[in-house]
């Protein structure tokens, strides 16, 4: 199997259940994500390039002396923007974007040391090279540079940026390979980048180093020196023995991406088993309904099992993106639909909510409840990463999330479908054209506004093959027909409806996924949400936002009448979309009987007083686009 144009391109198919497609083989043709890709290119990219100049990230690389502006790992923000642009021009070349990459590459080449080393903070004299790996982010930054270089080479065929990245990787090899050093970076990331560099070049030195960096972690090799602890750095338990995700959420999930990547190239089952254990534990006990992961502000970290407070949720955008990256690798390794389900939940809820509707404002952390309407974000300054303001800021002092969103959206075609010797597997329902070499299909849908998906065969190939269609875990009663004739609709153990036949050009498959509005409850061990319900429809999580409720209704003091019907209504032109809103009957409580006390004897409770009201719920991803507001996802049940 040769390398394909995509962010995860295993060199061999031996350990793959399904194989990835390149970005030119899976092309978005419209819909919510197709429009976002276009805005990502035309609006977000120049916005990001402007902020990289404004906040000094590029100047740090131009001027390797004197003060370093911004955070010490700001180089990585430049690299992620370069990766995003590279995937974009790989789909559709553009002179302006090509010029931006060339200009930044010249800056990097001029800054790079003769031995390949590149880190503006260290080269400016603020750290000693490789001397403070626990917090320096040196390998982390080089990892993002490698990913940008690989993306640009795959997207354009050019070696200009790739050569800078490979020289930096070779510098790391010289310093670390063959156990010349026993330590690693405090922030995992380079592991998956090195595997991808191996995939691109065939040089096993990079794969061996990636495995070495996995092997040394978990043995206390990082001296935290009071900066959190070994668990925070994933250095307390060897990767093959770890049973659950722990510590800094992004770091833990980036590390697991590297774990699965090494498995896909070596077949070492202990690595895959560890990744599956940790993912299953995280999904069952440490993941919010919105797809957010990482509940603690302290250390941007995972909490204990079921520690999921909605109002105090950290839910860093980068952590959910890291989970999308991990899920995709597990999808390739297993072919199981549960990983595509998790990607879908993350995409339509947390990732979509992490940006403003104009795609120039961003949330770093993503709460599931907002008790007080906070002031709107300043438009000319960069807030700190934590404590999301009332609206989305245009950039951050720690700017890891906006470029991460950009590169995810730019490469989204790579997450839609796969192929195997038996046929094609469709994982995400987005208007798109999917090509596997001999077979081409077109997907038409307004999903998730409705559950109607139509797949047309444009090129049929020779001989019979299978079309596998994911049935989401939330769906009941899926039906499918071929050329108008019903087909047996029974999902297999992996969660897919499989149609095998001799296909012909013009064949049409109609899949219907019923998506009535439903009420969802959390596991009873999740104390913060016990006795409350959330509204969902299809893959979309809903929330109550104060601006949509009747006058004088306090979103903090409402209950949802769960025995009353829920009603859907299309709201055309709402925040630039035509979403389906949900109305429900609720009770607006009057808590005045509790005045003066926060406690009461169980036998002397104040009388329950309230009035029935109509509550309106909007898709969670649209909240905070109309100014500061109060918001909640989980609502006390009545």
Q: What are the tens digits of pLDDT across the range 453-508?
A: 999 999 999 999 999 999 999 999 999 999 999 998 788 999 999 999 999 999 99
Q: How confident is the model at residue 606, as a pLDDT?
A: 86
Q: Which of 177-181, 260-264, 318-322 has the lowest mean pLDDT?
A: 177-181
Q: At 193, which CATH number?
A: 1.50.10
Q: How many separate domains does the chain show?
A: 3
Percentage of the chain exceeding pLDDT 70? 99
Greatest CA separation for the chain: 78
- The verdict on whether omega for the bond into residue 448 sits within 30 degrees of 0, i.e. cis, is yes
Query: Rounded distance, CA 498 to CA 489, Å?
Result: 8
Q: How confident is the model at residue 568, as a pLDDT?
A: 96
Residues 301 and 287 in one domain: yes
Q: pLDDT (tens digit, 9 = 90+) per residue, 617-626?
A: 999 999 999 9
Residues 410 and 422 in one domain: no
Q: How confident is the model at residue 7, as a pLDDT?
A: 94
- For the segment 560-586, the average pLDDT, to the nearest whole number, is 96
Look at residue 429 and tell me whether its pLDDT is greater than 60.
yes
Residues 392 and 444 in one domain: no
> 1 pLDDT band (50/70/90 cuts)?
very low
Residues 295 and 443 in one domain: no
> Is there a domain that residue 5 lies in?
no
Label residue 246 left, alpha or beta by phi (over 0 means left) and psi (-120 to 50 means alpha): beta
Looking up tokens 């040391």, which residue turns up?
A: 113
Residues 342 and 465 in one domain: no
441 - beta bridge partners? 434, 457
> 634 pLDDT band (50/70/90 cuts)?
very high
> Is there a domain that residue 10 lies in?
no
Residues 614 and 480 in one domain: no
Q: Exposure string (b/e) for 605-623, b if CB count within 10 Å is 16 or more?
A: eeeeeeeebebbbbbbbbb
Q: pLDDT (tens digit, 9 = 90+) per residue, 179-206?
A: 999 999 999 999 999 999 999 999 999 9
Residues 484 and 521 in one domain: no
> Is there a domain that residue 12 lies in?
no
CA-wise closest residue to 551 among 613, 493, 501, 596: 613
> 386 pLDDT band (50/70/90 cuts)?
low
> Is there a domain that residue 260 lies in?
yes
Sequence-distant (≥ 6) Cβ neighbours of residue 46 within 8 angstroms: none
**Boundary residue ending a domain (415, 441, 469):** 415
Query: Rounded distance, CA 542 to CA 633, Å?
Result: 6
Q: Which residue range(s) make up the domain with 166?
A: 19-415
Residues 205 and 125 in one domain: yes
Look at residue 385 and tell me whether its pLDDT is greater than 80.
no
Q: pLDDT (tens digit, 9 = 90+) per residue, 587-599?
A: 999 988 888 888 8
**Boundary residue ending a domain (415, 438, 453):** 415
> Residues 21, 418: contact at Cβ < 8 Å?
yes
Q: pLDDT (tens digit, 9 = 90+) per residue, 89-125?
A: 999 988 899 999 999 999 999 999 999 999 999 999 9
Bridging pattern class, strands 423-426 and 465-470: parallel
Q: pLDDT (tens digit, 9 = 90+) per residue, 68-94?
A: 999 999 999 999 999 999 999 999 988
Query: Rounded distance, CA 434 to CA 417, Å?
Result: 7
Mean pLDDT value across the chain: 95
> Is there a domain that residue 360 lies in?
yes
Q: How confident is the model at residue 4, as a pLDDT?
A: 66
> Is there a domain that residue 196 lies in?
yes
CB atoms closer than 10 angstroms to residue 598:
5
In the 3-class helix/strand/coil scheme, how is 526-552 assigned residue by residue?
CHHHCCEEEEEECCEEEEEEHHHCCCC
Residues 26 and 91 in one domain: yes
> Is there a domain that residue 8 lies in?
no
Query: Rounded distance, CA 480 to CA 467, Å?
Result: 12
Percentage of the chain exceeding pLDDT 90? 89
Q: At 450, which CATH number?
A: 2.60.40
Query: Rounded distance, CA 217 to CA 163, Å?
Result: 29
> Residues 422, 466: contact at Cβ < 8 Å?
yes
**Boundary residue ending a domain (450, 485, 512):** 512
């Amino acid at each position: 199997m040769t390398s394909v144009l995509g962010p995860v391109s295993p060199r061999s198919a031996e350990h793959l259940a399904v194989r990835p497609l390149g970005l030119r083989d899976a092309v978005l043709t419209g819909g919510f994500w197709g429009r976002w890709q276009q805005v990502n290119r035309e609006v977000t990219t120049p916005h990001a390039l402007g902020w990289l100049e404004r906040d000094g990230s590029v100047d740090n690389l131009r001027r390797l002396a004197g003060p370093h502006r911004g955070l010490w790992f700001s180089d990585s923000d430049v690299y992620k923007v370069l990766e995003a642009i590279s995937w974009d021009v790989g789909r559709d070349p553009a002179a302006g974007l090509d010029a931006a990459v060339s200009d930044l590459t010249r800056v990097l080449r001029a800054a790079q040391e003769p031995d390949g080393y590149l880190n503006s903070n260290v080269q400016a004299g603020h750290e000693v090279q490789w001397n403070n790996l626990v917090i320096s982010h040196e390998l982390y930054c080089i990892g993002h540079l490698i990913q940008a270089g690989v993306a640009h080479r795959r997207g354009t065929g050019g070696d200009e940026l790739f050569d800078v990245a490979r020289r930096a990787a070779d510098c790391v090899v010289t310093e670390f390979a063959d156990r010349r050093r026993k330590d690693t970076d405090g922030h995992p990331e380079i592991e998956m980048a090195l595997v991808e560099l191996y995939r691109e070049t065939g040089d096993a030195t990079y794969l061996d180093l990636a495995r070495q960096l996995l092997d040394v972690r978990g043995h206390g090799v990082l001296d935290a020196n009071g900066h959190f602890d070994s668990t925070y750095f994933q250095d307390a338990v060897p990767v093959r023995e770890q049973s659950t995700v722990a510590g800094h959420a992004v770091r833990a999930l980036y590390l697991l991406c590297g774990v699965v990547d090494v498995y896909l190239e070596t077949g070492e089952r202990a690595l895959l088993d560890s990744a599956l254990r940790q993912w299953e534990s995280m999904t069952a006990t440490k993941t919010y309904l919105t797809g957010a992961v990482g509940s603690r502000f302290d250390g941007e970290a995972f909490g204990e099992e079921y520690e999921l407070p909605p109002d105090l949720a950290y839910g860093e955008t980068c952590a959910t993106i890291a989970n999308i990256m991990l899920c995709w690798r597990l999808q390739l390794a297993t072919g199981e639909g549960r990983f595509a389900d998790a990607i879908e939940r993350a995409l339509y809820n947390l990732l979509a909510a992490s940006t403003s509707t104009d795609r120039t404002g961003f949330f770093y952390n993503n709460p599931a409840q907002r008790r007080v309407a906070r002031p709107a974000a300043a438009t000319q300054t960069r807030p700190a990463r934590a404590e999301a303001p009332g609206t989305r800021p245009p950039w951050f002092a720690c700017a890891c999330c906006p470029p991460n969103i950009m590169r995810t959206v730019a490469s989204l075609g790579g997450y839609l479908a796969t192929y195997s010797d038996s046929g094609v597997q469709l994982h995400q329902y987005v208007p798109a054209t999917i090509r596997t070499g001999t077979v081409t299909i077109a997907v038409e849908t307004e999903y998730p506004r409705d559950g109607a998906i139509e797949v047309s065969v444009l090129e049929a190939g020779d001989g019979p093959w299978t079309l596998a269609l994911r049935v989401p875990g939330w769906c009941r009663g899926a039906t499918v027909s071929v050329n108008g004739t019903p087909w047996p609709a029974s999902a297999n153990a992996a969660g897919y409806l499989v149609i095998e036949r001799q296909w012909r050009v013009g064949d049409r498959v109609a899949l219907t996924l019923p998506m009535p509005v439903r009420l969802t409850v959390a596991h009873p061990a999740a104390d913060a949400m016990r006795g409350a319900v959330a509204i969902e429809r299809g893959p979309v999580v809903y929330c109550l936002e104060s601006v949509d409720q009747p006058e004088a209704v306090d979103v903090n003091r409402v209950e949802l009448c769960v025995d009353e019907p829920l009603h859907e209504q299309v709201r055309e032109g709402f925040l630039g979309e035509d979403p389906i809103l949900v109305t429900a009957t609720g009770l607006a409580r009057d808590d005045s009987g509790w005045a003066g006390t926060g406690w009461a004897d169980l036998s002397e409770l104040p009388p329950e007083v309230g009035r029935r009201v109509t509550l309106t719920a909007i898709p969670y991803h649209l909240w905070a686009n109309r100014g500061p507001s109060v918001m909640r996802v989980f609502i006390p049940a009545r």
